[in-house]
Structure 1
Amino acid sequence: MNLAQSSGYPMLEVLWTMLIVFAWLIWFWLLITIFADLFRRRDISGWGKAGWTVLVILLPFVGVLAYMIVEGSAMVVRRDADVQETRGRFDRYVRSVSAAGAPSDQIAKAKELLDSGAISGAEYETLKRKALLS
């Protein structure tokens, strides 16, 4: 006797259940994506946001498909702008943290002074110690 037949839950039913579960996951992902885009928008009024929200809640399939058709390409543009803004803020933060006051830069400058003969080895070690302690 086949194990799948004896369990009362054949393989096709398992696959169908998995398909349904993934379809629900994709559906909720679409809803979250649409609501996130809708409420981040600055080019639409509160009434417009309320209208889209009511449409998506009362007629979910029609509302989601309509929003994706009407605003699909604009969603991509807004998302790209958000990513660029976030990346720019992160880059500015990294640059500010690793500014010229970083210990490695101070040590490198002290090494250049040592190599040029402007400071002695003892002065270099003192500058290096100060840079590492700061």
Structure 2
Amino acid sequence: MDTKLLAVDYPVLNIFWTMLELFLWVLWFFLLFKIITDIFRSHDLSGWGKAGWVVLVIILPLIGVLAYLIARGQSMGMRDVEQAQQADAAVRAYIRDAAAGPQPEGGGGAGRSHVEDLAKLADLRDRGAISDEEYQKAKDKLLV
């Protein structure tokens, strides 16, 4: 088979057009799944409201997705931020618990004080009250 024949049958512009179509399909499905998960994650919608939005998004996808983004797009972003903050708080709590290790039977809690101090230092650094350099110096003093 001649390679020149293949290049003529499918020019470079058609390759770019095909790639653009594929990208738009992937983008469309990502947006559709994002909206459907947001519908079910929303606590302010009733069951009938969720069913109505899902039917609208599935039956009339273009109109349904655009209507959802116009009507509930801002609250969709706030729910994403809330979920990220909850996940971050859960990870931080897990790390604190794991770093504390097993507690002694007497309940003295001496192992936890360093973890709490490190958590406070990290919180101060995150709020900008102390610099990264000050954070490292204080952390080194705690760990010695």
Instruction: Assess same fold via TM > 0.5.
Output: yes
**Equivalenced residues, count:** 104
Q: 1:27 to 1:94 in 2, by over 3 A?
A: same
Aligned to 1:29: 30
1:63 & 1:8 partners in 2: Cα distance? 39
Letter in 2 for 1:58: I
- 2:80 alignment counterpart: 79
Shift of 1:42: 1.1
Matched AA of 2:56? L
User: Separation in 1 of the partners of 2:13 and 2:32?
Assistant: 28
Whether 1:42 aligns to 2:60 is no
CA 1:54–1:8: 2 relative to 1, 3 Å: same
SS of the residue 2:45 aligns to: coil
- Shift of residue 7, structure 1, vs aligned partner: 4.1
1:89-104 to 2 correspondence within 5 Å?
89-99=90-100, 101=102
How many Å apart are 1:3 and its aligned residue?
Answer: 4.0
- The SS at the match of 2:50 is helix
RMSD value over aligned CA atoms? 2.3
> Aligned residue for 2:12?
11
Cα deviation, residue 41, structure 1 = 1.0
Q: Is the 8 A contact 1:55 1:63 kept in 2?
A: yes
CA change 1:101–1:6 in 2 (3 A) is closer
User: Quick one: distance in 2 between partners of 1:99 and 1:38?
Assistant: 39
- Cα deviation, 1:31-67, whole Å, max 9, x if unaligned, reads 0100111111111111000000111111100000000
Structure 1 pair 16–89 and aligned structure 2 pair: CA distance change class (3 A): same
**Gaps spanning 5+ residues in structure 1: where?**
110-134
With a CA cutoff of 8 Å and minimum separation of 6, indicate the structure with the bigger relative contact order: 1
Give unmatched runs, 5+ long, in structure 2: 104-109, 115-144
Give me the TM-score of the superposition, normalised by structure 1: 0.71
Identity %: 43
C-alpha distance 75-96 of structure 1, shift in aligned 2 (>3 A): same
Q: Deviations over 1:9-39 (max 9, x none)?
A: 0111101100000000000000010011111
In structure 1, C-alpha distance between the alignment counterparts of 2:63 and 2:35, rounded to whole Å: 13
Partner of residue 57, structure 2? 56
Mean Cα displacement is larger for which, 60-69 or 92-101?
92-101
Q: What is the CA distance between 1:94 and its match in structure 2?
A: 0.2
TM-score, structure 2 normalization: 0.66
Per-residue deviation, 1:100: 6.3
Aligned AA for 2:93? R
